[in-house]
Amino acid sequence: MTGVSYAEPLPAWRLTFYAPVASFRDPFFPGLTRGLPVPPPSTVRGLLAAATGAPYESLAFGMAAWSEGEGVDAETYHPIDAGGANPAVAGRVRAGKGGMTLRTRPFRADVHLTLWLPGPEGNRVARAFRRPVWGLRLGRLQDLVHLEERVEVALVPATEAVVGSALAPTTGHDVPYATVHRMAASISTDRMTSRWTDYLWCDAPAGRYPVRGAYEDTDYRKKGQALWLLEP
């Protein structure tokens, strides 16, 4: 029993990325520098749009992410005074008036990201990575990400598969130690509106488990991988 159905496989591209350092701020903790362990889907959509040059990419995709380490850095912040009633005097806030300050920034080290881009839209986006329009970053402007592999695969609908580090909907599986993270599924192009969604994520591979609404990449690391196609 493999847990794989006999439905028609879904053609897709599998892209793997590596970032030496990346930081994903949790916006639900304003005033605190709390980081997420994985990039939000909205961040990944920004990566796809950088490759294609489009304002926004709305295709469904599967993703898995993990990192080899983490740490905390110190950053210098320079608050800007908008000038109040006199915008002509706008500039940095002076020392002693709430000016320059140091804040901690959690970061992830040696970040690994795998994306599955299905169907014709996935084919279009995957081919754009041969010559990206913009620089590829994962999160902040200085967090460069490198494409390591781009291969064609077949995704098979599954009822049982290896639950690794893929993002899943909260109904996707019942791994007992999976954690729920609320993250931005998408952000409007004017950055005024975000859509928030809860996702399940395991910080360590969980082996084969029953899955719901999932596909399996049977060739992934020679042992299969459950993935879920995430809508914007």
Q: The CATH number of the domain where 193 resides is what?
A: 3.30.70.3120
Structure-model confidence comparison of residues 176 and 83, the more confident one: 176
Average pLDDT over residues 92-114: 75
The residue length of the chain stands at 232
Number of domains in the chain: 1
Percent of the chain whose pLDDT exceeds 70: 82
Residue 88 domain-assigned?
no
Q: Does some domain include residue 222?
A: yes
Encode pLDDT of 182-206 as tens digits: 999 998 888 788 899 999 999 888 8
Q: Is residue 79 part of a domain?
A: no
Residue 198's SS3 state is strand
Per-residue model confidence as pLDDT tens digits over 40-53: 999 999 999 999 99
pLDDT number for residue 202 = 94
Domain that holds residue 199: 10-28+36-66+110-227
Cα–Cα distance measured from residue 195 to residue 230, given in angstroms and rounded to the nearest whole number = 13
- pLDDT tens, position by position, 105-124: 788 899 999 999 999 999 99
Q: In angstroms, rounded to a whole number, what is the distance separating the alpha carbons of residues 216 and 159?
A: 9
Residue 128 has pLDDT above 80, yes or no: yes
Residue keyed to tokens 């993250």: 183
Q: Which of these, 152, 118, 83, lies nearest to 231 by C-alpha position?
A: 118
Please indicate, yes or no, if residue 3 is contained in any of the structural domains. Answer: no
Residue 147 lies in a domain: yes
Any domain includes 163: yes
Global confidence as pTM: 0.85
When pLDDT is averaged across residues 56-76 and rounded to a whole number, the result is: 88
Tell me what pLDDT residue 213 has.
Answer: 96
Q: Which residues contact 45 (CB under 8 A, 6 or more apart)?
A: 56, 57, 58, 186, 187, 232
Asked, for residue 89, whether it belongs to a domain, the answer is no
Section 163-185 average pLDDT:
94
Distances (CA, A) of 148 to 16, 75, 145, 182, 195: 6, 30, 9, 28, 30
CA 94/CA 133 separation, integer angstroms: 39
pLDDT over 60 (residue 3)? no
Q: Nearest 5°: phi and psi at 8?
A: -65, 130
Rounded CA separation 159/4 (Å): 6
Whether 77 is covered by a domain: the verdict is: no
pLDDT at 4 over 50: no
- Residue 153 to residue 14: CA distance in whole angstroms: 7
* Sign of the alpha-carbon torsion through 105, 49, 197, 200: negative
Among the residue ranges 117-126, 129-138, 140-149, 170-179, the one predicted with the least confidence is 140-149
